[in-house]
Amino acid sequence: MNWDRIQGNWKQSTEKAREEWNLLTDEDFRLADGFRDQFASRIQERYGIASDEAERQLASWQRTATHAWFAPP
pLDDT of residue 73: 62
- For 69, phi and psi rounded to 5 degrees? -60, -30
How far out from the chain centre does Cα 39 lie? Answer: 6
Domains of the chain, residue spans? 3-65
Would the pTM of this model clear 0.75, i.e. be above it? yes
The three-point CA angle 19-45-18 to 5° equals 10
CA–CA separation, 22 and 46 (whole Å)? 10
Q: Using the predicted structure, report yes or no on whether residue 71 has a pLDDT greater than 80.
A: no
What pLDDT, in 10s, does the model give residues 6-50? Answer: 999 999 999 999 999 999 999 999 999 999 999 999 999 999 999
User: May I ask the CATH class of domain 3-65?
Assistant: mainly alpha
CA–CA separation, 17 and 62 (whole Å)? 10
